[in-house]
Amino acid sequence: MEESKKIKITVIRRFSPEEVFGHEMKYSNGEKVAPCSRNGLSEGMEWVVEYMQRPEDFCVWAWRDLSRDLSILFCGGDHFWSEPDVTYTSCSDGMRPVVFKLERLK
């Protein structure tokens, strides 16, 4: 079986500190921490990636967090907790995590 070399990444949900902790959080300068919006990030945004090439407008930190799960899909593997060719994962931003759907394209 030949592995697909394309994976679609979709933003499923951005969480706010209020949703994670039950109250708002503030930076040291007093500014309220909001859900991640790096590079215009919003629910429903999609990227199609080939051969582990990070899209230019994709957050470097999130890319590093997703790399392990992307590698598994790129190599033809699946996760036991998801249907074949799909997995769900998140970035490791503890105050305002973002959940992504990774889908191997046929």
What string of pLDDT tens digits covers the 106 residues of the chain? 455 589 999 999 999 999 999 999 999 999 999 999 888 899 999 999 998 899 999 999 999 999 999 999 999 999 888 899 999 999 999 999 999 999 999 8
Single-letter amino acid code for the residue at 29: N
Beta strand 86-90 pairing with 6-14:
unpaired
pTM of this prediction? 0.89
- In angstroms, rounded to a whole number, what is the distance separating the alpha carbons of residues 50 and 6? 5
